[in-house]
Structures are given as C-alpha cells and as structure tokens.
Amino acid sequence: MLRYAILGPGRISHRFLNGMQYADDAKVTAFACRDPQKAQDYAGEAHVETVETYEQMYDDPNVDAVYIATPPFVHYRQILDCLNHGKHVLCEKPLCETADQARELFALARSRHLTLMEAQKGLFLPAWQDIRSWLDGQRIGRVLAAEASFCRRNTLDRSHWVFTMPCNGAMYDVGVYPLAELLSLFPAATISLKRTDAYAGECPISSVITMVNADGVLLDVKASIDYTAENYLNIYGESGRIECQDFWKTRTALCIPDSGERILKNYDYPSEFTFEISHFSELVRQDVSESPRMSSALSIREIGIVEKRG
C-alpha cells in the first residue's frame, strides 16, 4: 500500500482525496499544513488520524509520497524538501515557477531514485487516450491546427497570489492546462511562438499563445482569469476534426471525419483524479523516476513558455 501525505489541504485537495478512494493500493494517511487547526479540521472530515507540521511529515517514515496542493510560489522549496527527505512527489500544476527550477528538481529526483511528476490530470483521462489513438490512426488525416482554452473568471480577492505573486496571472493559474494538453498531443519542437497578454496592473489576466511546431501544426492556447468562456480542445485535420469540451475533466470526446461515421465516446467515472493517482502510484511501485506521458521534458517546456510574458 502506497501511503500519501497531502501537503496543503484546500479546495483541490478535497477532489484529490475523493479520487484516491478509487485508486488501488494507495491511501492518504496524513495531512500537513502550516495551520494545525485547519489541517485538523480537514483530517477529521477525511477520517485521517495523522496531522503533522511540514517538518514532521518530511521525517515521517510512514509517508511514502507527498501530494502538494499549495500555491506554485512555494512548490520549489517544498518539492526540494520532500525529495531531500526521500519522499516521492506528485505536485499540482504548475510544478514550479521557472524552467531552471524544474530542471534542478527533476535532476535531484533522478539522483535520489525518486518519482516526481506534475499533476496534469487531463493527460491521464480515457478521453486523452482515445484522442491520441484517433490521431495515430489518421482518423482526421494530417493535423493542421489545434486549439485549447481555459477561461474562468477568478472572483477571489485581488490580494490573492494569483494576482500578486511574481508567478501570477492566467497562465500560471489555468493556462497550464490547455498548454500541457496541446504540447502532450503535439510534442514536435516549437519553431515559432507569439504570446499576447492583457494586464490588470502587473498581472497578466488574459493570455493568448500561438505556436507552430516542426510538423507544421498551428497551436493556439487561450487562458483567462478575467472572463468565463466555453472551454474546449478542438483539433482540425485535412479530413475531419476532433472536439472535446472541458478536456481536463471531460466525460465525452467526439471524432468527426469528413467521410464515415462520427465516433462519440462517453466516459463514466466517479473522479477525474483517479487516473492520475493510479499512474503516479504505478511509477513509484516500478521505481520509475518520471512519467513517460507527463515527463520532465514536458514540464520544463511548459513552464518555460509560462514564465515568459508578452
């Protein structure tokens, strides 16, 4: 049984905890938080007995892996501490603030024979696998373009880190989802990239990134914390298209070839987090330092794009 600690109980941790219920041979055994009362309340709701400070959790021999769900401006230090104390790490997106930090962390994980992975749940859903299969099978012919969007108005107080920290703005908050999705499906090297940001003060609240890769595929990423829009993954080929709404948590995917029958896939599962958890846990059990799907190269490439502003 792989024993997880949750570092930083918050809104997303509730969903992670729900997903853990359906993962084989893994469970949450501890919570760690700077606010002991908050952690105690959270642990009581989750029926987990062990509540620890960060330092206690780092030294706890009964914790094998740590799920980090704190804001990204503290990820680097927390991942470093976990790895240096022999803990495998699954860390919420984005992994850290800069590509240089990511390179250092993955190198440390490899040197210590530990597993490190950025939590990008959309890449482990059944829909992602079906879309990959449709692309590989040339269901829509040669791909010409793809677009992905995550635009959701953030109603938090403007003192929140999303608006104030150096790693602020739409791309650090929600933009990493569509960016990672497109880079994972179309991994060829980028040969041109243009980014445009709309600012509120010093915060880039809306961003559009346009890339062309070495395969000649035009890739568009749209992200905003200023307005809410329909969010999607659309892929356009010479002989059809693929559509997927809310791709990071989707339960449907649609392939529409110009000739032949439409393929509609419906998925029924209790939590979109379970697939990511199961994948990470299997990496740990097999003593693999990084995911072949959410790899170090993908995280470094993604963060390198996110940290450079237009």
pLDDT in tens, 256-285: 999 888 999 999 999 999 999 999 999 999
Whose structure tokens read 């000739």? Answer: 259
Is residue 44 very low, low, confident or very high in pLDDT (cuts 50, 70, 90)? confident
Phi-psi group of 201: left, alpha or beta (phi > 0 → left; psi -120 to 50 → alpha; rest → beta): left
Pick from 7, 13, 5, 12: nearest CA to 50: 5
Tell me the fold of 126-266: Dihydrodipicolinate Reductase; domain 2 (3.30.360)
CA torsion 263-265-225-158 (nearest 10°) is 180
Is-same-fold flag (2-119; 126-266)? no
pLDDT of residue 46: 72
Q: Share the mean pLDDT of the chain.
A: 95
Q: Which two tokens stand for residue 15?
A: 């969903």
Residue 11 has pLDDT above 90, yes or no: no
pLDDT of residue 38: 73
Q: Specify the CATH number for 2-119; select among 3.30.450.70, 3.40.50.620, 1.20.120.420, 3.40.50.720.
A: 3.40.50.720
Where in the chain are the domains?
A: 2-119, 126-266
CA distance 199 to 183: 25
pLDDT of residue 47: 77
Residue 42 has pLDDT above 80, yes or no: no
